[in-house]
Amino acid sequence: MNCFYMIFINSKLFTIAVKILILLILGLLFSIQIFAKSPYNKLNDKLDNLNVVYLNNKIRVYYSNDLNNIDFIVDRVDINRNNIPDYVENIAIQANATLDVLNHLGFINPLESQRYKGVAQFIDIHLISVKGNGVAYEMPAMWGNKKSKQDKIALLVVIRNNIENFPGDYWTTVTHELFHLYQYGYSQFKGGWYLEGMANWAERSLRAGAVGRNYNQKLPQTQAELEKIYNTPYNHLWHRLAVLSDKTDGTMKLPQSLLSQTYVDGSKVFKDDKLRGYKFMRRILENLTIASNEISIQNNRDPYYWAEKDQRSALNRPIILRVIQQTMHEFGMNKTSEEKNFLQLK
């Protein structure tokens, strides 16, 4: 009887040990999946129109100086007479300033993100003729047939080649598009209400004012108001959250080396030293990473390559909403009736 009992115990221990081993193996596989790198596109698209490249740190700006091409840089002003259009130099200046300020604020540079690190080596900005002002692409790319690309994988941003009076006192298009790369680096979630709304907030890191307009418009208080947010890319939600999460004046405490930066004509890159809510926004992105990885595991998805329909699915809305609400609780934003009503929404 004792012998049988010992065999029984040993078999139970063996079964438990096997189960633990299986869990450890599964955990390892999930860990490998989570820490995998982003795939990239191998492209052979012609870039003949973009016959010149301007390199500035990790930013490569590709443009055309061929008068006969549609992508020709019309604005040929060259104040410093270095044979590079100021338009091109200013694009690179704004790009590098964006990376510098967001690094100062603790956001993870896309090139250093878990997703893109070790894959993409540059951020390439193509100045071409397009209808909108710009677009940022999620997938890294390598052009195998273009010598100026040096067989290097890069993240891609397209900016219109003729934005009027860029940068002036208004245009922060490059900042907006680069922030999308940050969002892509943190999670797989898309949707205009999230991508465009938060990127519009991020532009204020270079623009004047601590927050955008309509910041005093209340958070959605009903499901109907929330649905309106979901259907409004440039909504007030993110500016309102920035104000409610940050009771300071929004001073970023930028080093003088950043504050003193100028465009080619001597105008200031940073219009002031104000941006409210950056700690809250950074935490939302970090929490979105966790949510994105969990969904990848649950649905057996590549954590860095969801199908576009899955990225933009309306089913992600309540998930992103819960992340926002969770982050609000972390920041103690659950005291007022406005906050409480919003926290009840699903």
Other CB atoms within a 10 A radius of the CB of residue 11 amount to 10
Q: Quick one: tokens of 231?
A: 């259907």
Question: Would the pLDDT of 202 be above 50?
Answer: yes
- Residue 256 is predicted with a pLDDT of 97
Average pLDDT over every residue of 118-124:
98
DSSP conformational letter for 43 = E
Give the residue carrying structure tokens 């930028």: 254
Average pLDDT over every residue of 260-283:
98
User: What is d(CA 196, CA 219) in angstroms, rounded to the nearest whole number?
Assistant: 17
User: What is d(CA 146, CA 286) in angstroms, rounded to the nearest whole number?
Assistant: 36
User: What is d(CA 81, CA 100) in angstroms, rounded to the nearest whole number?
Assistant: 26
Name the residue with higher pLDDT: 46 or 251: 251
Task: Determine which of 198-202, 209-213, 328-332, 338-342 has the lowest per-residue pLDDT on average.
Answer: 209-213
Nearest-5° Cα angle at 11, 5 to 16: 130
Beta strands in the chain (DSSP E): 41-43, 52-56, 59-63, 122-128, 134-136, 141-143, 154-160
- Residue 31 is predicted with a pLDDT of 45
Average pLDDT over every residue of 255-268:
97
- Residue 36 is predicted with a pLDDT of 64
89-103 per-position pLDDT tens digit: 999 999 999 999 999
Looking at every residue in the chain, the average pLDDT score rounds to 91
80, 93 contact by CB (below 8 A): no
User: What is d(CA 117, CA 113) in angstroms, rounded to the nearest whole number?
Assistant: 5
Other CB atoms within a 10 A radius of the CB of residue 99 amount to 22
Nearest CA to 206 out of 134, 109, 272 is that of 272
- Residue 283 is predicted with a pLDDT of 98
- Residue 241 is predicted with a pLDDT of 98
Whole-structure pTM value: 0.89
272, 278, 282, 288 alpha-carbon torsion, rounded to 10°: -120
User: What is d(CA 105, CA 117) in angstroms, rounded to the nearest whole number?
Assistant: 19
- Residue 46 is predicted with a pLDDT of 67
Average pLDDT over every residue of 180-195:
98
Average pLDDT over every residue of 110-132:
97
Residue 9 binned pLDDT confidence (cut-offs 50, 70, 90): very low
Give the residue carrying structure tokens 């329909």: 309
- Residue 342 is predicted with a pLDDT of 98
Other CB atoms within a 10 A radius of the CB of residue 133 amount to 15
Residue 3 binned pLDDT confidence (cut-offs 50, 70, 90): very low
- Residue 29 is predicted with a pLDDT of 42
- Residue 47 is predicted with a pLDDT of 76
Select the highest-mean-pLDDT range: 4-8, 167-171, 304-308.
304-308
- Residue 38 is predicted with a pLDDT of 85
Question: Would the pLDDT of 12 be above 90?
Answer: no
Give the residue carrying structure tokens 């103690």: 332
26-79 per-position pLDDT tens digit: 444 444 444 567 899 998 776 778 999 999 999 999 999 999 999 999 999 999
Amino acid at residue number 150 = Q
- Residue 182 is predicted with a pLDDT of 98
